[in-house]
Amino acid sequence: MLEEKDTARQRFGIVASDPLRFLGLKTMFPTETGIDLVPLDETTTEAVQRLALIVIDATCTELLFELIDAFQKVQPAARLLVVGVEEDPAYVERVIGAGAKGYLTHSASEAEIRMAIRIVLDGSVWAPRKVLARLIDRGMEEQRKEKAVPVLTPREKDVLRKLGTGSSNKEIAAELAIDASAVKAHVGRLMRKVGVTNRTALSVEATRLKLLD
Q: Which domain holds residue 180?
A: 154-208
Q: Would you say residue 1 has pLDDT above 60?
A: no
Partner residues linked to 112 by β-bridges: none
Q: Are residues 96 and 77 in the same domain?
A: yes
* Region 21-43 average pLDDT: 72
Answer yes or no: is 148 within a domain: no
Residue 49 has a pLDDT of 81
Q: Which amino acid is at 177?
A: A
Answer yes or no: is 62 within a domain: yes
CATH number for the domain including 170?
1.10.10.10
SS3 25: helix
Global pTM?
Answer: 0.59
CATH number for the domain including 94?
3.40.50.2300
Contact 44, 20 (CB under 8 A): no
Residue 142 has a pLDDT of 65
Contact 56, 15 (CB under 8 A): yes
Q: Are residues 95 and 197 in the same domain?
A: no
Answer yes or no: is 40 within a domain: yes
